[in-house]
């Protein structure tokens, strides 16, 4: 396994294909350091015996100890550990830990490449190629990001119906030694500080959309890839340090006719498997949210409880009710994910067919519970912000800048007028409200909320999955039976 130092040293060695605000930047640019620092924690804690029961796993390929972010889940215990590892890591960095997109994509591709080869009856080598790629990925402890979301053009038109065929990433040429792809994947988190980008389709595909059914892994600095960045860093502090400086970064990942050699292509043309690949990545990723969203919930509960203390309103009944509401959201999200882990099986829901055994035996979380948990917590994002806003009052919106808290002319006056609770030191109160500002009123906080709502698919996508996969007919029969109506047999 790599160390944080090795990871950080590797970043500036990559080709310069990152663009920020009109400039071409290197991967050790200041704008990326907070995000790289977040990823760095996943190396530190994989070396720390206190956390290794969660942060490491045994490779099913080599038997070696590997970083859990490079692991294929073998059983329900692995799913539980991924969920708990994610919650733990997000506590440490206070937000998205950044490596779940990669592990979720590789788990989806693992099953899909196996099934596509099986259906192709030996004509393709996707799965052995994937395993070869995975072995190196595990050995070198590489960081993966997942590029699923296409720009999608007109939302009501399918990929093949778009006036511009590049609105969804697709194959433009098949060569003897590989394929050439074109398109743009958007909002790709941590792609600029990742080693590899795993590309999977966005949606279900039809027969005439085989060119869009493509999955592959590619180094993030490959020729032809341009990444246009939006970093979301906490405001820089000079005098009043945080315990941890958090940042994340998203990219428009533009594939301007990029060559992908065949041994990195894990699906190409099989439209049914392309749709399942899209569903499976989303499923694994929604399961990851049952770790990170409760962790963010824990932060919000802490913020609400401390803000109430600072304001001296912690005993007010409405405050207790609101904090209980935050606890319900976080823990129901966790409980749904826990159940999805416990009910994990090598099975997938195929639209129009139902649950089917799927893949080489790797463990897949239960889809209903993963989707229910993600939907519930995603829909609650702005409700949670409202609760924090109500309890905090207006303080975080207009909190003074660091320099004014240091300036001899304003320091003492500001401290006098910021102080609310006489039992808590003014230094603690200032640190608290500054972080509260970061999480609720800064530019980054807007991006965090949008990510928490839409990452892994918007709530509507989870509702579609829940409604489509749930056995509603069985529930109708429960009512029919009690009502004395005729119970209908399953079709
Ligand atoms: C901060 C952040 C980080 C992210 N990180 C990643 C990442 O690492 N990797 C990745 O692949 N993706 C990532 N995403 C993308 C995320 O998965 C998408 O935002 C999500 O799937 C929604 O897609 P969209 O943004 O294109 O919105 P849209 O799908 O365009 O949704 C906008 C609205 O249009 C509606 N709509 C869309 N299509 C239809 C239709 N056919 N019929 C009717 N209504 C429709 C939706 O219901 C919604 O109300 C990230 C997003 C954010 C905000």
Residue 341: domain span:
276-477
Q: What would the mean pLDDT of 325-336 be, rounded to a whole number? A: 98
Residue showing tokens 């196996």: 114
Task: Say if 462 falls within a structural domain.
Answer: yes
**Average pLDDT, integer, range 469-490:** 94
Query: For residue 131, what pLDDT is reported?
Result: 98
Tens of pLDDT along 79-134? Answer: 999 999 999 999 999 999 999 999 999 999 999 999 999 999 999 999 999 999 99
Q: Which of 455, 456, 457, 463 to mutate to test the pocket of ligand 1 (most atoms within 8 A of CB)?
A: 455
Helix (H, G, I), strand (E, B) or coil at 196: strand
User: 146, 281 in Cβ contact below 8 A?
Assistant: yes
Ligand 1 center from residue 461 Cα (angstroms): 9
- Residue 95 tokens, joined: 């937000």
List Cα–Cα distances, 33 to 9, 28, 167, 246, 420, in angstroms.
Answer: 12, 7, 31, 9, 35
H or E stretch covering 185: strand 178-189
pLDDT more than 70, % of the chain: 100
Q: Is residue 158 part of a domain?
A: no
158 Cβ below 6 A of ligand 1: no
Instruction: Tell me, yes or no, whether 302 lies in a domain.
Output: yes
pLDDT in tens, 380-396: 999 999 999 999 999 99
Q: To test the ligand 1 pocket, which listed residue (106, 154, 187) has its Cβ within 8 A of the most ligand atoms?
A: 187
By alpha-carbon position, which residue is closest to atom 21 of ligand 1? Answer: 457
Read off the DSSP letter of residue 238. Answer: S
Taking the C-alpha atoms of residue 433 and residue 443, their distance in angstroms, rounded to an integer, is: 16
What pLDDT band is residue 352 in, cutting at 50, 70 and 90?
confident
Note whether 205 and 40 are within 8 A (CB): no
187 lines ligand 1 (CB under 6 A): yes
Whether 183 maps to a domain, the answer reads no
**For ligand 1, atom 20, which residue shows the shortest CA distance?**
457
Q: Which of 297, 193, 231 is nearest to 443 (CA)?
A: 231
pLDDT digits (tens, 9 = 90+) for 17-75: 999 999 999 999 999 999 999 999 999 999 999 999 999 999 999 999 999 999 999 99
Q: How many angstroms is it from 454 CA to the middle of ligand 1?
A: 6
Q: Is the pLDDT of residue 300 over 80?
A: yes
In a domain, 409, yes or no: yes
Q: What pLDDT, on the 0 to 100 scale, is given for residue 489? A: 86
197 lines ligand 1 (CB under 6 A): no
pLDDT recorded at residue 354:
87
* Ligand 1 mean position, distance from CA 187 (Å): 9
pLDDT in tens, 146-156: 999 999 999 99
Other beta carbons less than 10 A from residue 472's beta carbon: 10
Between the CA of 203 and the centroid of ligand 1 the distance, in Å, is 11
Whether the pTM exceeds 0.85: the reply is yes
Listed as own residue / partner, the contacts of 351-360 with beta carbons closer than 8 Å and 24 or more positions apart are: 351/204, 351/275, 351/468, 358/111, 358/115, 358/276, 359/110, 359/111, 359/112, 359/114, 359/115, 360/110, 360/111, 360/114, 360/127
Q: What is the mean pLDDT of residues 209-227?
A: 98
Residue 351 banded pLDDT, cuts 50, 70, 90: confident
The secondary structure of 109-120 as a DSSP string is HHHHHHHHHHHT
pLDDT at 139: 98
Tens digit of pLDDT for each residue in 408-429?
A: 999 999 999 999 999 999 999 9
CA of 103 to the centre of ligand 1 (A): 20
Relative to the CA of 450, which ligand 1 atom is closest?
Answer: 53
- Nearest protein Cα to ligand 1, atom 52: 451
Mutate to test the pocket of ligand 1, among 98, 105, 144, 155 (most ligand atoms within 8 A of CB): 155
Q: How many domains does the chain have?
A: 1
Mean pLDDT value of segment 173-180: 98
Q: Is residue 363 part of a domain?
A: yes
DSSP 437-479: HHHHTSHHHHHHHHHHHHTTS-HHHHHHHHHHHS-HHHHHHHH
Mutate to test the pocket of ligand 1, among 458, 459, 461, 464 (most ligand atoms within 8 A of CB): 458
Q: What is the CATH number of the domain that holds 328?
A: 1.20.140.10
CA 230 – ligand 1 centroid, Å: 17
The protein residue whose alpha carbon is closest to atom 34 in ligand 1 is 155
Residue 415, domain member (yes or no) = yes
CA of 14 to the centre of ligand 1 (A): 29
Residue 490 in this model has a pLDDT that exceeds 80: no
Best CA proximity match to 329, nearest among 361, 297, 352: 297
Residue 323 lies in a domain: yes
């Amino acid at each position: 396994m790599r160390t944080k130092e090795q990871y950080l040293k590797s970043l500036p060695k990559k080709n310069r294909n990152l663009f920020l605000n009109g400039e071409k930047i290197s991967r050790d640019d200041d704008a990326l350091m907070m995000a790289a620092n977040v990823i760095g924690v996943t190396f530190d804690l994989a070396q720390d015996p206190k956390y290794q029961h969660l942060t490491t796993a045994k490779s099913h390929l080599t038997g070696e100890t590997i970083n859990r972010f490079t692991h294929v889940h073998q059983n329900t215990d692995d799913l539980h550990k991924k969920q708990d590892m994610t919650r733990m890591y997000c506590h440490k960095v206070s937000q998205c830990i950044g490596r779940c997109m990669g592990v979720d994509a590789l788990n989806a591709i693992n099953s899909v490449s196996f099934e596509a080869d099986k259906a192709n009856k030996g004509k393709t080598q996707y799965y052995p190629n994937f395993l070869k790629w995975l072995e190196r990925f595990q050995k070198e402890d590489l960081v993966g990001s997942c590029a699923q979301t296409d720009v999608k053009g007109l939302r009501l038109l399918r990929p093949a119906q778009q006036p511009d065929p590049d609105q969804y990433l697709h194959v433009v040429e098949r060569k003897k030694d590989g394929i050439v792809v074109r398109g743009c994947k958007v909002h790709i988190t941590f792609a600029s500080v990742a080693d590899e980008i795993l590309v999977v389709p966005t949606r279900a595909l039809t027969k005439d959309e085989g060119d869009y059914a493509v999955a592959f892994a590619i180094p993030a600095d490959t020729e032809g890839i341009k990444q246009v960045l939006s970093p979301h860093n906490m405001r820089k502090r000079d005098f009043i340090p945080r315990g941890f400086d958090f940042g994340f970064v998203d990219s428009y990942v533009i594939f301007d006719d990029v060559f992908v050699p065949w041994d990195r292509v894990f699906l190409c043309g099989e439209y049914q498997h392309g749709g399942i690949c899209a569903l499976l990545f989303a499923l694994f990723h929604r399961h990851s949210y049952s770790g990170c969203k409760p962790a963010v919930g824990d932060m919000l509960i802490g913020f609400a409880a401390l803000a109430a203390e600072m304001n001296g309103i912690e005993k007010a009944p409405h405050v207790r009710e609101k904090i209980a509401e935050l606890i319900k959201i976080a823990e129901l999200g966790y409980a749904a994910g826990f159940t999805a882990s416990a009910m994990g099986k090598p099975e997938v829901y195929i639209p129009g067919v139902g649950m089917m055994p799927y893949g080489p035996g790797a463990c897949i979380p239960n889809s209903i519970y993963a989707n229910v948990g993600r939907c519930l917590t995603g829909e609650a994002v702005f409700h949670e912000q409202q609760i924090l806003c109500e309890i905090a009052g207006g303080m975080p919106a207009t909190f003074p800048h660091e320099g004014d808290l240091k300036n001899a002319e304003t320091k003492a006056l500001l401290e006098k007028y910021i102080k609310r609770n006489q039992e808590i030191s003014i230094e603690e109160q200032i640190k608290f409200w500054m972080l509260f500002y970061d999480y609720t009123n800064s530019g980054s906080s807007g991006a965090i909320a949008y990510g928490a709502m839409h990452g892994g698919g918007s709530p509507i996508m989870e509702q579609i999955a829940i409604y489509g996969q749930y056995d509603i007919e069985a529930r109708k029969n429960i009512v029919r039976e009690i009502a004395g109506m005729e119970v209908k047999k399953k079709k």
